[in-house]
Copies of this chain bind each other. A is one copy, B any other.
């Protein structure tokens, strides 16, 4: 029963690069956290310490900075350029995956900005000689609705104590990642419109379960955005519990809530087209 090397990859994670565009009086800013992971013919370094096929992670970091010099564009484009470089430049590299998190800044004047918040725009690009797979996304978009959310009719067993409700707060911190039919996409517009569909569906949906809301959000994206063929969402149920004020002689008509940290529900699901192309190495 010999011992063998299994799947492996390596790379430089979390290179935090900020690119300023000074080409017009109104400066631009792109603020990215870039992670690179390479897979390929790397058995030697594991088995013998022969590094002759290893691209140092330090070089990967340098490459991120050097490529940023030529401008970023949309993060999907920047990730494509980087991933293709690693696959094309280095024979031992079979697969390169570049993941980018972007935070946005709102303009105060031509050269001053305030960070917009914790929400992140995401892109993950995977390249081999055989193809390029792009996943776009967002994370840390915190949403809450004060009504239009019910939860009842569920299974009950001896451990069930949850009361049914026809009016509760629903809150989540949305992570969504989606893939498009091909790479001929206006990434900026697509991201903006997918985000709009997600928030509008969350806000406008009358929910009987967080699962139903998740599906409605994904369905809205696929219905309105023809370029998207699959979307995967992770939605923690950030519980807001009605505080029992009856010991103090007060009725609590869904007005005072305790926002809990842990535990939390976690709902994960995908919505897809039945003719979606194979995902390949996208995820």
Contacts and interface: CB of A to CB of B under 8 A. Distances in A.
Contacts of A230: 6
Interface string A123-159: 0000000000000000001111111101111111111
Which of A5, A42, A90 is the most central at the interface, judged by chain B CB atoms within 10 Å of its CB?
A: A5
A141 B113 CA distance: 11
Contacts of A254: 20, 22
Contact of A266 (B35, B142, B204): B35
Contacts of A109: 203-204
A112 B148 CA distance: 9
A205 to B, nearest CB: 9
Given A146-B27, A215-B5, A258 B114 contact: no
Contacts of A250: 66, 69
A16 B114 contact: no
Which of A3, A17, A151, A264 is the most central at the interface, judged by chain B CB atoms within 10 Å of its CB?
A: A3
A15 to B, nearest CB: 4
For chain A, what secondary structure do more than half of its interface residues adopt (helix, strand, loop), or is it mixed? Answer: mixed
A189 interface: no
Nearest to A35: B266
A248 B212 contact: no
A208 B51 contact: yes
B115 A11 contact: no
9 contacts: A1-B274, A8-B269, A19-B255, A20-B169, A45-B208, A45-B212, A54-B154, A69-B256, A108-B199
Given A55-B157, A116-B117, 6 more contacts: A8-B270, A12-B265, A13-B266, A35-B266, A46-B211, A114-B143
6 tightest A-B CB contacts, nearest first: A117-B117, A49-B208, A6-B270, A112-B203, A8-B269, A115-B142
